[in-house]
Amino acid sequence: MALKNKSMYAILGILNLAPSTGYDIKKYSDKVLSGFWNENFGHIYPTLKMMLEDGMINILPGEINEKKVRYAITEKGRMEYEAWLLEETVQQPARSEFMLKLLFSSSLPREKVIFMLEDYKELHEKNVGKYLEMQKDLEQGNAIARDRVPFINAVLRRGILSGEAVIRWCDETIEEMRRA
Amino acid sequence: MALKNKSMYAILGILNLAPSTGYDIKKYSDKVLSGFWNENFGHIYPTLKMMLEDGMINILPGEINEKKVRYAITEKGRMEYEAWLLEETVQQPARSEFMLKLLFSSSLPREKVIFMLEDYKELHEKNVGKYLEMQKDLEQGNAIARDRVPFINAVLRRGILSGEAVIRWCDETIEEMRRA
DNA sequence: GGTTTCATGTAACATGTTACATGATTCT
DNA sequence: AGAATCATGTAACATGTTACATGAAACC
C-alpha cells in the first residue's frame, strides 16, 4: 500500500459517518473539524484518488448530477480506520508563530506588545463564542447519532476550556507588561 | 530576495541573542522553544545557507575548531527581523490527531477512550512539570538579560495555564465517559 | 441577470521530516 | 577504550498550500 497520511484518516472518519463528495468533506472539515483540523482541496482530491486505488473507498453510482462523485468507505477502509483509532497517537510538535514572536519581543515598545496580546485575546474570545454556539446547537440535537453526542461535546468543551485559559493568560500578561 | 520561511525568523531571533552554530540553534530550539516551536537539521542548514546568500547573516571568523561555523546576524538581518516582529501574525490552522481521533471514537469501548485520555493527561502533567522547573531556573536568573525575563516568563506561564486547562478537561471528560 | 454556492481537479510552490554519511571531541 | 555529544551536511521522501481553470446549479 502507498502512503498513509493523516488526511486519509480524517477522510475515512468523515466517510464513516456518511458517504460524501470531496466538496462535502471540505465543508465538514471547515465547519466541524476546524479548530483542530484542516483540509484543502489540493489535498483532498489526490488523497481520494489514492484511497480509491487502494480500495479504502468506492464510488456510489448514479447521482442526479453526473459531475458529482460521492464516495463511501469500504470494508477494507473501515478496518484501516478502526486500526488507526486504536493506535497510540504520537503528538506532533506545535508551531506557534505568535509565541515565537512574543518570546523575542523584549525590544519592542510595551504598547505594541500589549496591542498584540489584546488582539490575540479577542481572537480567542471569538473562538470560545463559536464553541458555545455550537454547544447550544448540539443540545437542540439536530440529527446527530446519540452515541456521538458526548464526543462532540468533549471536543467543544476542550475548545472552550483551552480558549478561556488563553484569555486569562492574556489578561495576566497584559497586566504584567504594564507593570514591567 | 528568495523565500521568507518562518524558520528564518526563528533563526534570526536566536542569532539576535548570540552568534551561534547550526548545532547551537538546534539545541536552543529543542530546549527553549520546544512546546511551541521546532526545528530540525534538514531545515536549519539549508536555511542558514540561503540566509548567508541573502546577507541576513555572516560567518564569524577564526574558531578553534575549523569545522565549526558560527553565524551572526547582520544589519540587514536585524532589519528584516524587526519588521517581522511588527507584522501582524496570521494564525495558522492547528492539526491535532488526538482530537480528531477522540471525535471519531464513539464506536470504541469506553475503557479504551478513558485510557487514551489518561495517557494524554499524563503527557500534559509532565509538560506542566517541565515548565514549572524552567520557571524556577528563571527565578535563579542564570545569565539572562533582565529585560527578557518577563517575556520568557510569559511563555512559560502560557504553557502552565494551557497545560492545566487540558488536565482539567481530561478529568472532566474521563468522568463524562464513565457516566455516559 | 447576476451572485453565490456547488463541484472537481491540476500545477507550482513551499515546507517539513527522516535517514544516512562522516568524523572530531569530550566524558566516563 | 568506548559511549555520548558535538558538528555539518545531503538526498529522498512526505506533506501541505495557493493559484488557477472550468462550469453547473441554486438563490435573489
- When pLDDT is averaged across residues A118-147 and rounded to a whole number, the result is 90
Any domain includes B91: no
CB within 8 A of B42, min separation 6: which ones? Answer: none
Residues A114 and A145 in one domain: yes
- Environment class of B146 (CB within 10 Å of its CB; exposed 0-12, middle 13-18, buried 19+): exposed
- Nucleic strand D under 7 Å from the C-beta of A40: yes
Q: Which domain covers residue B21, as residue numbers?
A: 6-86
Last residue of a domain, one of A86, A115, A137: A86
pTM: 0.93
Residues A119 and A156 in one domain: yes
Residues B78 and B101 in one domain: no
B99/C8 CA-to-C1' distance in Å? 29
In tens, the pLDDT along B128-172 reads 999 999 999 888 876 778 899 999 999 999 999 999 999 999 999
Evaluated on CA atoms B168, A123, B92, B131, the torsion sign reads negative
Q: Tell me the C-alpha distance between A147 and A100, whole Å.
A: 40
Q: Tell me the C-alpha distance between B147 and B108, whole Å.
A: 51
Residues A79 and A23 in one domain: yes
Residues B23 and B55 in one domain: yes
pLDDT beyond 70 at B61:
yes
Residues B53 and B104 in one domain: no
Residue B146 or A3, more confident: B146
Q: Tell me the C-alpha distance between B105 and B100, whole Å.
A: 9
pLDDT at A145: 84
Which positions 68-97 on chain A have a beta carbon less than 7 angstroms from any atom of strand D?
A: none
pLDDT at B72: 96
Residues A68 and A129 in one domain: no
B23/D5 CA-to-C1' distance in Å? 11
In tens, the pLDDT along A11-67 reads 999 999 999 999 999 999 999 999 999 999 999 999 999 999 999 999 998 665 668
Q: What is the DSSP string of chain A?
A: -----HHHHHHHHHHHHS-B-HHHHHHHIIIIITTT----HHHHHHHHHHHHHHTSEEEEP--SSTT--EEEE-HHHHHHHHHHHHS--PPPPP--HHHHHHHTGGGS-HHHHHHHHHHHHHHHHHHHHHHHHHHHHHHT--S--GGGHHHHHHHHHHHHHHHHHHHHHHHHHHHHHHH-
pLDDT beyond 70 at B2:
no
pLDDT beyond 60 at A70:
yes
> Chain A partners of B99 at a C-beta cutoff of 8 Å?
36-37, 155, 158
Report chain D positions within 7 A of protein CB atoms.
6-12, 14-20, 23-25
Any domain includes B44: yes
- When pLDDT is averaged across residues A102-111 and rounded to a whole number, the result is 97
Round the average pLDDT of chain B to a whole number and report it: 93
Chains A and B: how many Cβ contacts under 8 Å?
Answer: 174
CA A126 to chain B, closest CA, distance in angstroms equals: 14
Number of domains in chain A: 2
Any domain includes B49: yes
- Environment class of B51 (CB within 10 Å of its CB; exposed 0-12, middle 13-18, buried 19+): buried
pLDDT at A1: 43
Taking an 8 Å cut-off on Cβ atoms, the answer to whether A37 and B99 are in contact is yes
> Chain B partners of A172 at a C-beta cutoff of 8 Å?
157, 161
> Per CA to C1' distance, which residue is closest to D25?
A65
- When pLDDT is averaged across residues B62-67 and rounded to a whole number, the result is 65
pLDDT at B66: 67
In tens, the pLDDT along B101-110 reads 999 999 999 9
C-beta of residue B14 within 8 angstroms of C-beta of residue B25: yes
Residues 75-104 of A with CB under 8 A from B: 82, 84-86, 88-89, 91-104
Residues B66 and B113 in one domain: no
pLDDT at A144: 77
Mean pLDDT check: name the lowest of A151-155, B89-93, B128-132: B89-93
Residues B82 and B102 in one domain: no
A25 nearest nt, CA–C1': C7
Cell 487540558, residue? B166
Residues B104 and B163 in one domain: yes
In tens, the pLDDT along A72-94 reads 999 999 999 999 999 999 988 88
> What's the DSSP call for residue B1?
-
Any domain includes A1: no
Taking an 8 Å cut-off on Cβ atoms, the answer to whether B103 and A155 are in contact is yes
Residues B109 and B168 in one domain: yes
Round the average pLDDT of chain A to a whole number and report it: 93
Any domain includes A92: no
Residue A127 or A1, more confident: A127
Any domain includes B1: no
Any domain includes B118: yes
B5/C24 CA-to-C1' distance in Å? 32
- Give me the percent of chain B exceeding a pLDDT of 70: 93
Cell 502507498, residue? A2
pLDDT beyond 90 at B1:
no
Any domain includes B12: yes
Q: Tell me the C-alpha distance between A36 and A57, whole Å.
A: 24
Nearest CA in chain A to B84: A101
